[in-house]
Chains A and B, each alone.
Chain A
Amino acid sequence: MIPAPFDYVAAESTTHALDLLDSFGEDAKLLAGGHSLLPMMKLRLATPSVLIDIGRLTELTGIRAEGEELVIGAATPHATLATSDLVRADAPLLAHSAAQVGDPQIRHRGTIGGSLAHADPAADLPLALVALGGSVDLLGQGGTRNVPADDFFAGFFETSLDPGELIAAVRVPRRPGTPWGYQKFVRRANDWAIVGVAAIDGRIALANMGPTPLRASAAEQALADGAGPAEAAGLAAEGTEPGEDMHADRDYRRHLARVLTRRALEHRT
């Protein structure tokens, strides 16, 4: 299956990209690695009339430490994130999460910005960002604004990106040596999570338990009150209304959330 016809322009800079977004309006989509967008376009679930290619802009690549944070260019491919010494040292949960996305070929192309903008509630990087309490730098004509992960995912495949904005960078707190856990429950290795859990530093995030990555707040509260992993995990599904599909009904999803949360709190991957 192939996409419907569209026009293509390679942006020369982020400024150029923003100007193009402005002039083309809602019919245009940004293209980085294209591994969330192009599959949708090939199935004709997305039919933009223009693609603005930002995948090779050096302004959007690079990983650096900036004080208490790591700053990651939005067009950084998952494979780069997964193997970065800096990320593996300071935010190993993020490196691990990136290493779980799809398969090696997909990881060579898909980018963190693309994955976050796509906002699939079953995906790895949105889950990791929420667990880490990271944030995104959104660049628009008016400059950059920073949005915390908890506020970035607005709904099912929806973010709080304004039209005319692009994700420039992703920020995560540096926590070298902090124990973390990550559980991705799948039928086959390169599937999306049926349920996913990431936990670090008292924060617990859930994938595919709702329209966005969710915080397991009741479980977090129990931890804060001194509960151990098993007890806190028992509350992991509180307040969730997970969807049902052929892999899991609601009961089973909630059960998985509890089991996987316990394992993540035991720092297992």
Chain B
Amino acid sequence: MQVELTVNGQQRSDDVEPRLLLVHYLREVCGLRAANVGCDTTSCGACTVLLNGTSVKSCTVLAVQANGQQVTTAEGLGTDGGLHPVQAAFRQEHGLQCGFCTPGMVMATVGLLSENPHPTETEVREGLEGNFCRCTGYHNIVRAVLAAAEAERAGVTP
């Protein structure tokens, strides 16, 4: 069936199977492969994107459910070739190693900070409970989120 989505600001019209998961729509139909599939049970968050500005696990949304709506992926975050403050903070704090969880982690962070601009460390950890990482032990991810929050408060890019 036909669906119309706006992906990273670009309007698209595509013919999809009802069962096509949003994550596969983004990866295979749109060619946006930053979001990854890391599990089968809506647990790991590697597929996290923004749907109408709120963070969702795109493996558990059907493309057809997103018809007429707006999706933002990691590829759509930065501006003019520059890093979004959250992306910059992840780099600054070494909040990524193998990178597989990273786009989802970054999108979840953008979502978290849009709802709670000044989280405590505990709130950051709870805010990321749906995003698994095997490499970093979460230590530097937490630092990155706090740094991004601080930077946004100060109006600078980390």
> A108 within 8 Å of B by Cβ?
yes
| Given known A104-B130, A105-B48, contact A38–B18 (CB-CB < 8 A) | no
**Considering only CB atoms and an 8 Å cut-off, how many residues of chain A contact the other chain?**
30
A residues less than 8 Å from B65 (CB atoms)? 31, 34, 53, 55
CB distance from A196 to the nearest CB of B (A): 17
A40 to B29, CA, bound (A): 25
Q: Are the CB atoms of A2 and B61 closer together than 8 Å?
A: no
B residues less than 8 Å from A106 (CB atoms)? 42, 57, 60, 130
Q: Are the CB atoms of B57 and A34 closer together than 8 Å?
A: no
Give the tally of cross-chain contacts (CB within 8 A): 85
| Given known A8-B1, A8-B64, contact A51–B18 (CB-CB < 8 A) | yes
For window 9-56 of chain A, which residues contact chain B by CB distance below 8 Å?
10, 31, 34-35, 38-39, 42-43, 51, 53, 55
Q: Are the CB atoms of A6 and B60 closer together than 8 Å?
A: no
A226 to B32, CA, bound (A): 63
User: Which residue numbers of A lie inside 8 Å of B, CB to CB?
Assistant: 1-8, 10, 31, 34-35, 38-39, 42-43, 51, 53, 55, 79, 102-106, 108-109, 188-190
User: Which residue numbers of B lie inside 8 Å of A, CB to CB?
Assistant: 1, 17-19, 21, 24, 40-43, 45, 48, 51, 54-57, 59-62, 64-65, 67, 108, 111-112, 115, 126-127, 129-131
User: 17 other contacts beyond A39-B60, A105-B48, with CB at 8 A cut-off?
Assistant: A2-B21, A3-B19, A7-B18, A10-B67, A34-B60, A35-B42, A38-B42, A42-B59, A102-B42, A103-B130, A104-B112, A105-B108, A105-B111, A105-B130, A109-B60, A190-B43, A190-B129
